């Protein structure tokens, strides 16, 4: 049995490749010593892939039906190349809840290439309502390393072998009353505290549209790293001790010349949290067809 502890789902199956890291430690560390004995982690953070096989992209000979499929495969390639400990998908993996099952099967095939934990939340395009694509998604189909945080109140995935906890909540409706960062649990000391949220960072909730995430909420979250989704270009919204970033869409066509990237996040007990980027797709290669989303704000990277 795996020692992963997941709320609300309890997975089972083979042990992860880093099973013995915690067992190799010396007992009776103080809290400070335990903090510094924590493993450094590498996280690949993506969002806003917007998979939909009906996008009608120009055909190519690589077998992918769309830019989004090609980009998501590239995200998995980066996770493999960087030997990532975790892959985070911070919303809008699917473009809408009407995508056919072939899109789900594509995700199964890609995530089955990985052995590291994968955690994901819905976004505003693939909201988790009664008609949600997530009701058709079998999280065990590609291995017990894949976790969906599908509670509207928020849920966690605990990974004791690497001293990491991941929190996130499912979006029921993209509305001003939806608060993506509300309900973050108390910080777990001597663990990496990681969160995901899909929405718009702003200074206050009132008058800023749907799914607001305030700077004050980020500051008070107690998270080491907050993986943000919704904005299609990279942006840094770190506050206090919490490093918070939009990774942007890996599909440059949805984001303009500054897009097409994933965030590569390093969590180190001595050096803190560092964020770099890896290019997945290029804007210049993708300007030959209109975006399936219609108009979008290239500067802000946010679909209208």
The 10s digit of each residue's pLDDT in 40-88 is 999 999 999 999 988 767 667 788 999 999 999 999 999 999 999 999 9
Structural domains in the chain (count): 1
pLDDT for the residue 211: 86
Residue 12 domain-assigned (yes or no): no
pTM of the model: 0.83
Residue 46 domain-assigned (yes or no): yes
Q: How far is CA 159 from the centre of its chain?
A: 16
CATH number of the domain encompassing residue 209: 3.60.21.10
Residue 40 domain-assigned (yes or no): yes
Residue 218 domain-assigned (yes or no): yes
Residue 252 domain-assigned (yes or no): yes
The 10s digit of each residue's pLDDT in 209-222 is 788 999 999 999 99
Residue 57 domain-assigned (yes or no): yes
State the CB neighbour count (10 A cutoff) for residue 123. 29
- DSSP string of 78-138, one letter each residue: HHHHTT-SEEEEES-SBS-TT--HHHHHHHHHHHTT--S-EEEE--SSS--STT-GGGS--
The 10s digit of each residue's pLDDT in 218-238 is 999 999 999 999 999 999 999
Residue 23 domain-assigned (yes or no): no
Instruction: Name the residue range of residue 257's domain.
Output: 32-303
The 10s digit of each residue's pLDDT in 113-162 is 999 999 999 999 999 999 999 999 999 998 899 999 999 999 999 999 99
């Amino acid at each position: 049995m795996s020692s992963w502890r997941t709320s609300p789902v309890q997975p089972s199956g083979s042990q992860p490749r880093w099973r013995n890291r915690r067992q190799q430690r010396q007992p009776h560390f103080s809290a400070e010593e335990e903090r510094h004995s924590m493993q450094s982690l590498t996280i690949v953070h993506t969002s806003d892939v917007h998979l939909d096989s009906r996008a009608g992209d120009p055909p190519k000979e690589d077998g992918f039906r769309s830019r989004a499929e090609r980009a998501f495969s590239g995200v998995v390639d980066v996770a493999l190349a960087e030997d990532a400990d975790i892959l985070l998908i911070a919303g809008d993996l699917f473009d809408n809840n009407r995508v056919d099952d072939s899109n789900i099967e594509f995700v199964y095939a890609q995530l089955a290439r990985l052995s590291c934990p994968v955690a994901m939340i819905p976004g505003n395009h693939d909201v988790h309502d009664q008609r949600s694509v997530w009701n058709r998604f079998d999280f065990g189909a590609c291995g017990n390393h894949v976790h969906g945080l599908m509670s509207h109140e928020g849920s966690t995935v605990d990974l004791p072998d690497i001293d990491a906890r991941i929190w996130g909540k499912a979006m029921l409706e993209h509305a001003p009353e939806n608060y993506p960062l509300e309900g973050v649990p108390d910080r777990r000391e001597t663990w990496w505290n990681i969160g995901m949220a899909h929405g718009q960072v702003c200074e206050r909730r009132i008058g800023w549209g749907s799914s607001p995430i305030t700077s004050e909420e980020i500051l008070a979250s107690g998270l080491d790293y907050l993986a943000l989704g919704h904005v299609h270009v990279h942006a840094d919204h770190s506050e206090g001790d919490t490093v918070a970033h939009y990774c942007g869409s890996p599909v440059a066509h949805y984001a303009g010349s500054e897009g097409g990237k994933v965030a590569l996040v390093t969590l180190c007990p001595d050096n803190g949290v560092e964020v770099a980027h890896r290019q997945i797709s290029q804007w210049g290669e993708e300007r030959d067809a209109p975006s399936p989303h219609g108009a979008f704000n290239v500067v802000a990277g946010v679909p209208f």
